[in-house]
A and B are shown apart, each in its own frame.
Chain A
């Protein structure tokens, strides 16, 4: 199914289930990683991920394309995460004990590359987990949702300068981690 995200969402609002499927296929991976990296417990991540989509389904009739669809989707996800942290008594994105599975292995026959990728992946994950939640969220929104700085600010309810600063810090820390 063709069309922009906004058109697809409007089509779904009008009753076209195929439009929703196209939207879901497009955003499922990014949104899942955004949620999973924010809570780190896979089962919880799955639960929250599902709830975000259910909230979107429930809110479909009120959808008005004032901004990018992804901004709206990730704003819902951000709010769901905030609700989760608030109900858990956490003021920010605190990490749970259970680890996410290892990243998928690269193609066979490239043992050196495989080892390098695994090592880099581990370093990236470690650096991502070590950084302050707000910076991590800014990076994830940029990488997974493809949001610009103003859009990140819109989703997280901050001003553009703060969003820009968070993203810059996050990138600097990840680059540092890859140098080691």
Chain B
């Protein structure tokens, strides 16, 4: 706008200073306060607690994963021993023959409860075979040892050739399949906590303004003016700032 318009603006403002009456101010402000008072508060914890949601959830997921992993590690020998012990021990013997000296560290002694478990022991096998004795140490300590063992077994298998692998198929493969299944179970058990919950039923779709206006136009066409008026009033309450096109305005307007 130019300077002349500024002058016009000033003159306009000097000339027209109508204000709403005080009783109207009071009524509108009271309505605004009433609306706020009757407003339902958002459900759930107060805002100060909401900021802990994410860290607490993460901690819970991590803790659950650790517990599940530990539990699987502890339960593993009981599941795997009967099938895999003879084959693995045979491999152990071969490895022991290949190795120049036994390891310096003493094998870990099994806990009393596990040691007394009825594990079938072939006569040729030494009683203190460390491989499948349950390890009371936490999973993170046991994991490198287990990896080493698996690596050495793999290399022994490779040295023996396909025949040995076929021989092992009955027991060791079953054992590794069992441990693989357990790992996948562990993943499955921990995964849902991290995944967002998916609602099986989609949220109810809100009626689009255009769709609503079409419905009102149909009501008008059917001469159901009362309903059309009600719907139009409701529409305006729902979408007070929605621009209705000229064409639609004519279609939804009351007939004269």
Enumerate chain A interface residues (CB-CB to B < 8 A): 12, 15-17, 20-21, 24, 28-29, 32-33, 36-37, 46, 49-50, 53-61, 72, 75-76, 79-80, 82-83, 86-87, 89, 100-101, 103-104, 106, 117, 120-122, 124-125, 142-143, 157, 171, 174-175, 178
Contact partners of B240 in chain A: CB under 8 A: 55-56, 58-59, 75-76, 79-80
Distance in Å: Cβ of B38 to nearest Cβ of chain A: 11
Given contacts A86-B254, A122-B15, 9 further A-B contacts (CB under 8 A): A17-B32, A21-B32, A33-B16, A46-B24, A49-B20, A50-B24, A142-B1, A171-B1, A178-B11
Interchain CA distance A76-B17 in the complex, whole Å: 22
Q: Whole-angstrom distance between the alpha carbons of A121 and B10 in the complex?
A: 11
* B4 close to A (CB within 8 Å): yes
Taking CB atoms, residues of chain B closer than 8 Å to A100 are 18
- Residue among B9, B12, B244 with max Cβ neighbours from chain A (10 Å): B12
B25 nearest in chain A by CB position: A28
Contacts of B256 in A (CB 8 A): 89
Which residues of the partner chain B approach A12 to less than 8 Å between Cβ atoms? 32, 36
- From B4, B12, B25, B253, A143 is in contact (CB under 8 Å) with B12
Cα-based distance from A24 to B19 in the complex (angstroms): 12
A29 and B20 alpha carbons, distance in the complex (Å) = 7
Q: How many residue pairs, one in A and one in B, have C-beta atoms under 8 Å apart? A: 123
Assess the B28–A24 pair: CB atoms within 8 A: yes
Q: How many angstroms from the CA of A29 to the CA of B24 in the assembled complex?
A: 12
In the complex with contacts A12-B32, A28-B20, A121-B8 CB distance below 8 A: no
Which of B27, B236, B256: most chain A Cβ within 10 A? B236
8 residue pairs, one from A and one from B, having the closest CB atoms: A121-B15, A75-B241, A157-B243, A55-B240, A20-B32, A76-B240, A32-B20, A17-B33
Contacts A46-B24, A120-B11 given; indicate if A24 touches B32 (C-beta within 8 A): yes
B195 within 8 A of A: no
A171 and B15: CB pair below 8 A? Answer: no
Q: Which residues of A contact B11 (CB under 8 A)?
A: 120, 124, 178
Smallest CB separation, B249 vs chain A (Å): 7
Q: Which of B1-59 contact A (CB under 8 A)?
A: 1, 4-5, 8-9, 11-21, 24-25, 27-29, 31-33, 35-36, 39, 41
A178 touches B254 (CB 8 A): no
Contact check: which of A36, A55, A60, A86 meets B18 at CB < 8 Å?
A36
What is the bound-complex CA distance between A66 and B254, given in angstroms? 32
* Pair A143/B35 contact, Cβ less than 8 Å: no
